[in-house]
Amino acid sequence: MPGTDRETDLSERTEAFLAELKRSGGGAGPLRGSGETARETVALLRKITAQARWSNAGELMEIVRKEGRRMTAAQPSETTVGNMVRRVLKIIREEYARSRGSSEEADQQESLHKLLTSGGLSEDNFRQHFAPLKGNVIEAVNELLTELDGTTENIAMQALEHIHSNEVIMTIGRSRTVEAFLKAACKRKFHVIVAECAPFCQGHEMATSLSEANIETTVIPDAAIFAVMSRVNKVIIGTQTVLANGGLRAVNGTHTLALAAKHHSTPLIVCAPMFKLSPQFPNEEDTFHKFVSPQEVLPFTEGEILSEVNVHCPVFDYVPPELITLFISNIGGNAPSYIYRLMSELYHPEDHEL
Amino acid sequence: FTAVVAIKWLTDGEEEQPLQAVLVADSFNRRFFPISKDQPRALLPLANVAMIDYTLEFLTSTGVQETFVFCCWMSNKIKEHLLKSKWCRPTSPNVVRIITSDLYRSLGDVLRDVDAKALVRSDFILVYGDVVSNIDVTQALQEHRQRRKAEKNISVMTMIFKQSSPGHKSRCEEDDIIVAMDSKTKRVLHYQRTQGLKKLQFPMNIFHSVSDEFEIRYDLLDCHISICSPQVAELFTDNFDYQTRNDFVRGILVNEEILGNQIHLYVTMDGYGARVSNLLMYDAVSSDMVRRWIYPLTPEANFTDRKGQECTHSRHNVYRGAGVSLGHGSHMAENVLIGRDTSIGANCHISNSVIGSNCTIGDNVVLDRAYVWNGVHIASGAVIRQSVLCDGVKVKERVTLNRQCVLAYNVVVGPDISLPEGTVVSMHHPDEEDEEDEDEFLSDGADNSSNQAKTKLKAFSAAEVGAEGKGYIWRPVKQDDTEDDELVQCLWGETSSCITTGVYAVFQTEVLGTLQRGMEENISCDNLVLEINSLKYAYNITLKEVMQVLMRVVLEFPFQQQGPQLAAVQYCALLLRLLKKWAPVFRNYVKRAPDQMDCLESLEEFFLEHETHWGAMVKVLMELYQLDILEEELIMRWFSDGVTSAKSRQLRKNPGLLKFIQWLEEAEDESSEEDGQ
């Protein structure tokens, strides 16, 4: 039967993706590229939409939600996956509303009165069957994929507005977005100081890559961040996740950097594509942190001392929103206080909990 | 562009074969007895997950697509477990095939079966079912394949090691090895287990080979993961005496010139790999797991994808499953893993422990380095340190378990009892063992105790396990102190007394057997020499060692026959008769001056261990002198030069010996005078 064949193929692909998610991030974690993960997630969801058995939007949403829960559980620190699931759910809602003839986006959260009376926009509304829904959803998901493909360029395009000649810019670790952002400005002459970001020292790779693009680059140890900060004009960093309150979950050491920048009143710019925006709040759950093998901090070869001490190697820092000056995303620059608005544009409030 | 295409074409052509693995889900020893009497070792939980799941996860994540699981002991349970697991789901990227047989007695048998059934088509990974690892073997596999391509299948095996300095707690002392290798090609030149050895010897010829850079390394931890070429299985078939991988490695290295096979090694710096070969390793690997050394294999990852295995990770490496309840004032200090639906009472202090699911723990309990499996009840006031409590154990009020206690399945202890260090309690009576078959675990000592124990069989001793206790102490202390230590340490893996200490010891017992048979069947000395010679080749023993072993065996022979309480006089009489009988054998081996010195040294060594029999020594020397095995000159030289310790100096002050030496001197003078005339 071709139907079952297709379904086993689908579940095989899902399993493979889950397994990959679980094993990803051995060590440096975010370096696998959230962009890639986002694209893979959306591609998989598109496949699910195309191949799974569903007859109306409600069923499809239930399937997507179920798979989404499994995917987020596989690697809780990779919030991109959950974000993409929410985006697809939102697409399904919109397409359903469009098929029905009403414009869902317009009347969503319009007034307090509406919020109170609508009371749990129940899924009964999604039970109606529309033949073209599948095609419309897939088309909209394809648009989302195109948007994802262009995020890094869209961010990099804004570089010249922010980086001026003879500026000294500090960054930490390695972020693909920041790398592209800085390289996009390389026709101007400026100086980049890279904090190495021990113990994984992704900063070294970043510095090599930047100097290959003829950008004047200096690597400093993390301990020197404060000392060097007085010379810095701007701090430009990447992040792993943008949280719902406008804070960040970024690579370890970012909080130090942000505090030093605040002390010297240096502007802190965060380059983050929109798919990193997550409806999660800080300290919401235990999965906020991610601890990896202590190998990099104290190598296994040390011998006896390892049985005497506990070594921890956390990967992420929380940076509160008041330390951040500006977010640069693929849709332009925004202040941290505006994040809530972006959040409501991107995700449906009912999808915050998958 | 063309180059890329060419490479792609090449790899497509050669790597069509899916990567295969052979997983041996049996340890072929009884180190985990009595725990493994109820559950095979591969299914014992480590950090609440069966060990075989770690091994399969390791194989799957490293890209293995087909795994053959070989089971012997309790194969049904392993099969059942695997069929329920995610590995046997149709979507699993790693196809698991289970092969069971009761006939497997060693790794050698398994690999011979692999060869007989022609299961492997290309290079495969060989692991045991109790290996916990997150090493990515892709790199090693690539090196292995390149070597095989470059040198026409000369390299048959790549062993994977992890760098870890001596003293690391995850280094298993039994597995301590010293390796000599070629730095450039990573070829293994010499491989030796170091446990219990004080002296190490390297054959000179390994340093004469082509390369000019060598490394002798003692900082390697054997991960028990090896990449084997299909030839390995064939070689096991050809050499039916290979039982373990150790035999194989030694065999290949020794016969390297003949067969032209080589073994290489791969040292990983950042991966983790260890085999849970005893309870100390169990302790070490569990604690490494909880301390996240094996990331991304962590308790909260729930890689087995089982319902109810989820847990959360919070500060100080505290992991909690769903439905865990913690009483008021209880403190989970650090490195604690608690399974689903376990409830803990008030004012407990728990550190460095793993607790399974559905356990009940009372108030004021102290747990440190405790490994509590599923469904265990621990009543209030218990104190448990570095112990293992298997499924269904009940610990009553105010029980103290000191270090290295083991409570096997469904045992009940207490109340108000303190188990001494190293107590092993099981629902199986230790004597059941004897009836099944004899093994090294219960050596001769057990026979004495079994008669006494049988009288009270099936009655639990309240003094041992408490008034409400259920279970038998394995090896009661009062009967045989030393044996008891031995058992526990075996389980915990501190001494080697119950495993074979190497070829040398085997050879010694073989020689002893030959001589005994020679004695009983009255075999002529020429035939004895022939037999010993063939043994020498079989075990690859040098002539010098043969001599030492022979001397030792003959000297111990009377003890073997009559028991160790033999008095000096009788011993002497028996021995002299033997020496006369076997003089031709000695003459065959003891020819040149160095041989005689060796002979004397081993003689001295033996008598240093048997102080009471020093009187016999003179007689032995006299006899050997008269049988023309030893020359007077060399006896003199040994007497004057061979002093190595205070005790050997003392030996030389023995009046009998002095008299003999004096007599020798006079005899020499006479003979020299005669010569002069």
The predicted pLDDT at position B132 comes to 92
Cβ proximity of B547 and B589 under 8 Å:
yes
The predicted pLDDT at position B451 comes to 41
What is the C-alpha separation between B607 and A310, in angstroms, rounded? 51
Cβ proximity of B144 and B158 under 8 Å:
yes
Cβ proximity of B568 and B616 under 8 Å:
yes
Kindly report the nearest CA distance between residue B407 and chain A, in angstroms: 25
**pTM of the full structure:** 0.76
- In this structure, of A48-57, A112-121, A271-280, B600-609, the range with the lowest mean pLDDT score is A112-121
Residue A350 vs residues A62, A119, A121, A347: alpha-carbon distances, Å: 13, 11, 9, 8
What angle (nearest 5°) sits at the alpha carbon of residue B67, between those of residues B62 and B71?
Answer: 130
DSSP state of A40: H
What is the C-alpha separation between B7 and B4, in angstroms, rounded? 5
Contacts of A308 in chain B (CB under 8 A): none
Kindly report the nearest CA distance between residue A284 and chain B, in angstroms: 13
Q: Does A304 touch chain B (CB under 8 A)?
A: yes
Q: Does B334 touch chain A (CB under 8 A)?
A: yes
- Bond preceding residue A299 cis, omega within 30 of 0: no
The predicted pLDDT at position B672 comes to 59
What residues contact residue B206 under an 8 Å CB cut-off, 6+ apart?
Answer: B180, B189, B190, B214
- In this structure, of A198-202, A251-255, B517-521, the range with the lowest mean pLDDT score is B517-521
In chain A, which residue's Cα lies nearest the Cα of B334?
A310
**Is residue A119 scored above 70 in pLDDT?**
no
Give rounded-to-5 percent helix, strand, coil for chain A.
Answer: 55, 10, 30
The H or E element containing residue B262 is strand B262-268
- Calculate the CA B361 to chain-centre distance: 35
DSSP codes joined into one string, B548-562: HHHHHHHHHHHHHHH
**Both structure tokens of A29:** 């974690």
Kindly report the nearest CA distance between residue A114 and chain B, in angstroms: 38
The predicted pLDDT at position B4 comes to 43
Contacts of A304 in chain B (CB under 8 A): 167-169
For A103: left if phi > 0, alpha if psi spans -120 to 50, otherwise beta; the answer is: beta
Q: Does A12 touch chain B (CB under 8 A)?
A: yes
A190/A99: higher pLDDT: A190
What is the C-alpha separation between B224 and B111, in angstroms, rounded? 15
What is the C-alpha separation between A49 and B92, in angstroms, rounded? 23
Choose the mutation target among B58, B91, B280 for the interface with A, i.e. most A CBs under 10 Å.
B91
What is the C-alpha separation between B368 and B375, in angstroms, rounded? 19
The H or E element containing residue A172 is strand A168-172
Residue B225's SS3 state is: strand
B237/A27: higher pLDDT: B237
> What's the start-to-end Cα distance of chain A, in Å?
33
What integer is the mean pLDDT of A73-80?
83
Q: Does A338 touch chain B (CB under 8 A)?
A: no
Q: Does A25 touch chain B (CB under 8 A)?
A: yes
DSSP state of B48: T
**Both structure tokens of B186:** 């990573």
At A251, give phi and psi (nearest 5°).
-60, 145
| Percent of residues, chain A, with pLDDT higher than 70 | 87
| Closest-CA residue to B30 (of B248, B225, B277) | B277
Residue with tokens 């119950």: B498
What residues contact residue A13 under an 8 Å CB cut-off, 6+ apart?
Answer: A44, A47
**Mean pLDDT of successive 10-residue stretches along chain B, which has 677 residues:** 42 64 86 84 91 92 90 90 87 88 88 90 90 90 89 84 84 83 87 81 77 85 90 87 87 77 88 88 91 87 79 88 91 92 94 94 94 94 92 92 90 89 85 48 39 52 83 60 41 46 72 81 81 79 78 80 74 81 80 80 80 78 81 80 74 79 77 54
Kindly report the nearest CA distance between residue B95 and chain A, in angstroms: 13
ipTM comes to 0.85
Each residue's pLDDT tens digit, A298-334: 888 877 788 788 888 888 889 999 999 999 999 889 9
| Closest-CA residue to B229 (of B135, B147, B116) | B147
What integer is the mean pLDDT of A54-75?
88
A70/B378: higher pLDDT: B378
**Is residue A282 scored above 90 in pLDDT?**
no
What is the C-alpha separation between B540 and B561, in angstroms, rounded? 28
What is the C-alpha separation between A121 and B413, in angstroms, rounded? 59
Residue A228 vs residues A170, A195, A221, A234: alpha-carbon distances, Å: 9, 10, 10, 12
The predicted pLDDT at position B587 comes to 79
What is the C-alpha separation between A86 and A130, in angstroms, rounded? 22
Kindly report the nearest CA distance between residue A109 and chain B, in angstroms: 35
What is the C-alpha separation between A210 and A170, in angstroms, rounded? 13
The predicted pLDDT at position B502 comes to 61
Dihedral angle sign, alpha carbons of residues B435, B437, B442, B448 = positive
The predicted pLDDT at position B173 comes to 76
What integer is the mean pLDDT of A62-78?
86
Contacts of A315 in chain B (CB under 8 A): none
The predicted pLDDT at position B159 comes to 93
Contacts of B91 in chain A (CB under 8 A): 8, 11-12, 15
**Is residue A55 scored above 50 in pLDDT?**
yes
Choose the mutation target among B170, B295, B324, B336 for the interface with A, i.e. most A CBs under 10 Å.
B295
The predicted pLDDT at position B670 comes to 67
The predicted pLDDT at position B176 comes to 85
The predicted pLDDT at position A335 comes to 93
